[in-house]
Structure 1
Amino acid sequence: MKKVSQLICSLALGALMSLPSFAQPLEQPNSPDYNPKASYDGPYKMNTWSISAHVGPSMFFGDLREYDFFPVRETNADSRKESGTFQGGLTINKQLSYWFGARLDGSIGNLKGMKRRQYNRYFEGNYGDVTLSGTVNLKGLLMGPNKMKRWKVDAYVGVGQVFYDATAYDLTGDVVLRETGKKNDWVVPTGLNINYEVTKRIDIGLDFRLNHTNSDYLDATYGGDYDRTPLSAGNSFKIKDQKTSRKGNSELDSYGYGSIQLTYKLGKKPLKVQKVDGKWDYKPEDGYYNLRYTDPRVLLKAPKILTLEEMDSVAKANRPKDIDPRLLLDTDGDGVSDFFDKEPNSPAGSVVDGSGRVLDFDSYVKNALASGVACSEIFANVEFETDKNGLSSESKEMLKNVANLMNKNGCRLQLAGHADRRATDRYNMALSRRRVDAVKNFLINEGGLKDPSKVIIDYFGSFKPIAESATRTGLQKNRRVELKLLP
């Protein structure tokens, strides 16, 4: 039993240490059900909470136990029945990712044991414990998300407290020899939990646990204490008064149980994956799968790969009428097609108007303020330092002029936030949003913009670079908020 619990501890701790290797950037920020605050990577929200009730026999392992594995099953002249003990409790489960989770357990029960050799004692006691454990999805790690789909097998290890009160008696005379009084100790639970998904709400399963206590007193006896003088004689002592040591000359006590478990999965609009034509069919748009059984990665739908004939058919069906080829070209990459571009060879990164003419954005805004001309479609960028969303003094001055122009002429402003590639997709999405929010907040709070509804915002992380990311200059250009004035 000890070797089994050590194996479970090793598996759980080893898998937790390897957690970063399983994390994959699976975000799809434009998904309607995307959850950026989730503890797991994936495109959809998922149900993660459940509550379980368990009941079954308990078992003690320590000094007052006759055999290592099989309990004594009858009471006679020199034996006491060790079987017939009982425990039950509740568990709150939180699935943090498909691989890992946490569980908060509370249980109560009773324990029995006896030992003829040396001790000639038996004990009876009651206990209650509260523990917090981390879980590892062994089935998922060993077999993947789509084999034994309805099954969930977890190993777990944790820490908690046990509260107990036990009494040890002379085996042949039923005389009280030791009492613990009301006592508590630290406990380390290790276990294996097996569940089967019956419905979208209900699981049934088995829970096997071994709890390692931090003392040798759970059976009101510590190793080496063979004295059978009655407690009332005055020359013995109560265990609760023993403070000098946590144990005698034997191993620390432990106890465990095997339980039948019933689990209710919480969450709104629960789904249970079904098989269609021999394959698991996922429909995340209909509700929420539970992270206990569904790896978020399987919800990613592979893009359809068209054959050459299909691509040719689609192209022919959607082919427009012949047009001037210059409409399809943008030689200088300024965003204006050559057909309309009045300056088709403008330098890279230039700010242009709708006809492709190179402009000084700041000068244009100032002139528009002075002359009162109507707004034209015009573009500019506000750049940022690495991993920052603070505005430079030059940018602030320009944004004040933009706010004044919008107040005077009723212009609209479209903002688009971007980041360079040097972080995860999730982080870059958040950073680009902070940058675009910084620009909008400055326009409203310090620029004096009267109508915030005229500002349209969007953010794209590192998905839309405008320069190569292999150079510092390219990275700098990609750290930007694009400004687009609109009539």
Structure 2
Amino acid sequence: MKTHFLKLSALALSLIVTAGANAQEKPESPKLFAPSSAFNTWSFGISGGILAPTLMTGQNDFTKWKADLGYGATLKNQILPALGIQADFVAGKLKADNSRNWGNGLPPVSPFASYETKLAYAASLSANLTLANIYWMNRVNVIRPYMTAGYGFMGYKVTQIDNAGIETKFRAGESVKETYMPVGLGIKFGISNSINLDLGYTMNFVDADNLDGYYAGMQNDKFSYSHIGLEFNLGSKSKTPLSSYNPVAALQDDYITRNAALQASLDADRAKHAAHMEEMNKERMRFLNDSDKDGVSDYFDKCPNTPAGIQVDGAGCEIKVTTTVVNPVRVVVTEEDRKVVAEAIRNLEFDFGKSTLRSSSYPSLNRVADLLKSKDFSLKLAGHTDNVGSDAANMKLSKDRAESVKSYLVSQGASSSRIEAIGYGESQPISTNKTAKGRQDNRRVEFTLY
């Protein structure tokens, strides 16, 4: 027994050293609801350990069991974080004798003194339930207890020694085939992303009483396998094994990530809107401020710093009044004059959303310029818009369009001092702004001849 223990200790040490040499950093866990392709789902394991008829004295047909080394391998497919399907293989030897009495003090009555069963193979298919992925108090399941249960087939040969010391072969040395049910407990330690250290114990319930070559009653035989081994996760080293995936931790990480992204988006929107509001406030103050107190806001004031008490026009420039009248002439506006002005208003066109005059407006404006030059008339130009757009933009557009008409008339020889250009924006509609026709009527430049 001591020799077997030393061999098993050496095996355990070699497995741990091998696992440590292959340790690596754990990759980032996949996102919530990731497909199975994002994980490593297949694994392969090797193990060594102790095979025994049972770990409970007196439960089989011989009074004293003897431990011997066994070995095994597994191939597992993890279908859920907590559930895998695995194929197991175990082989080795089972030994026991009748060198002592039963627990009740009675001597054994078996015709055999001892036996040795060579377990050629025990192959089974089992469900593996990973308990750590049910117990969700830990975010990272480095230590993962598990349970297994399944069904399999085994093949073995039995050699018996009777009480006279004569060796015999059970069933003339032929291989015996039986079914069995393995039930096990174990614990795995995540040494690295690719390797787990596996410690486990499996009790195998044989569906017969032939494992020791001696039929002693209705109770079937059983054998145990206590093992230590390594499990290697197959697939890309950059992927997380599905067996170590914690769905609750992934749900929490997803919540934290989404919350952080939402908070960052809100902060960005607040900063953006704050900058926009600051710009709007600056623009608003330009309309409200009147630095020279002449009654014209700084936004429209073309003659800033006008001295106090000076009368100014709509552009904030001083109005010069001539008190000397030389040969006063009474100005009379005829019906023909009004027709010229009306035709100019009717033909007046601008580029869309701009103050640029279209060439189709020139002929009728030329006749207005001739009228101003020949009869010494004065002219007031009043620009208006609909309510589409901001107040500031509409006020600027109406003023610029009136100024554009004035500039053209002056370019045709009309006196600049006799033409006044004022913008009213959307403040004086002549029709409703709820219809396209009404808005078109409100977009206009009015001519007042005097």
Category of TM-score, reference length = shorter chain: 0.3 to 0.5
Structure 2 length normalisation: TM-score? Answer: 0.46
Between Structure 1 and Structure 2, the one with more helix by share is 2
